[in-house]
């Protein structure tokens, strides 16, 4: 059975028990990919695994809090021992700190604690996990890394008078800008390999973070990450997209 499974593409999606991570996992699994559901809560991870399994999808939940180095080490070891490689990594886990509003400019007031906690999840954990998994991704014939960023991380857009002046939660925005910098630098480091690294802006989606007023449902929100995870050999790398539209850094 294991030999049959390892012939499939293997994907890991972080923050996969709900929202965009759950839907991204579902859409990838519908493409015949075995999806590892990275979840920091084991009970919720198992519930997500059961729900997708009932849809006939091939998924496996694993314990993974990206802010915990021991979780990252254990996840990498499990993937190596069980599957021998990783074809797709979707760095979806992220947070908006409850100490700052997404619809205001918090630059003058955001606390050092909120900054550190936001960066721990959105950036430091993402980088540490990606670095730990790169040896396994390099074993893939066509590795794909998708970093879930946000249009709020675009310095080009924030520096324009474009109708978005109120949406400046500094901790969140700066962490996503840092994610985009990692995308650019990692893509450059891997330019002579088959691995492609891109950032995705899902859009304003009706999830816990986006709220009920958001115009997009989660099915649409997952499409950009899924497209980038399934890029062919001629696809872009080191770019930032929403659907097919490239976003300025």
Neighbours of 109 (CB within 10 A): 11
If we measure between CA atoms, which residue out of 90, 95, 52, 120 comes closest to residue 224?
90
| Residue 70 to residues 36, 37, 149, 180, Cα–Cα distance (Å) | 18, 17, 25, 25
- Is there a catalytic annotation at residue 176? yes
Burial zone of 7 (CB within 10 Å; 0-12 exposed, 13-18 middle, 19+ buried): exposed
Residue 43, classed as helix, strand or coil, is helix
If we measure between CA atoms, which residue out of 152, 149, 181, 179 comes closest to residue 165?
152
Determine which one of 83, 172, 196, 239 is catalytic. 172
Determine which one of 9, 168, 176, 223 is catalytic. 176
Sign of CA dihedral 157, 226, 35, 43: positive
If we measure between CA atoms, which residue out of 135, 180, 141, 132 comes closest to residue 8?
141
Cβ–Cβ < 8 Å for 137, 105:
no
* Positions marked active-site: 172, 176
């Amino acid at each position: 059975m294991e030999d049959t499974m390892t012939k499939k593409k293997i994907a890991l999606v972080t923050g996969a028990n709900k929202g965009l991570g759950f839907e991204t996992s579902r859409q990838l699994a519908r493409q015949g990919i075995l999806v590892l559901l990275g979840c920091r809560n084991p009970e919720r991870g198992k519930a997500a695994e059961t729900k997708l399994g009932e849809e006939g999808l091939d998924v496996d939940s694993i314990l993974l809090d990206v802010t915990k180095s021991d979780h990252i080490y254990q996840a990498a070891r499990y993937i190596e021992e069980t599957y021998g490689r990783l074809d797709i990594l979707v760095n979806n886990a992220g947070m908006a700190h409850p100490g700052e509003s997404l619809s205001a400019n918090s630059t003058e007031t955001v606390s050092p604690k909120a900054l550190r906690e936001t960066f721990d999840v959105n950036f430091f954990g993402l980088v540490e996990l990606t670095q730990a998994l790169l040896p396994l991704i390099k074993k893939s014939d066509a590795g794909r890394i998708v970093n879930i960023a946000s249009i709020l991380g675009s310095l080009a857009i924030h520096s324009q008078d474009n109708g978005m002046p109120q949406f400046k939660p500094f901790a969140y925005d700066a962490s996503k800008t840092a994610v985009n910098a990692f995308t650019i630098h990692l893509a450059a480091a891997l330019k002579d390999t088959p691995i492609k690294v891109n950032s995705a802006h899902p859009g304003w989606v009706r999830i816990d973070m986006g709220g009920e007023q958001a115009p997009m449902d989660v099915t649409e929100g997952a499409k950009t990450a899924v497209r980038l995870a399934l890029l062919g050999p001629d696809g872009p790398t080191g770019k930032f997209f929403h659907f097919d539209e490239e976003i300025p850094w």
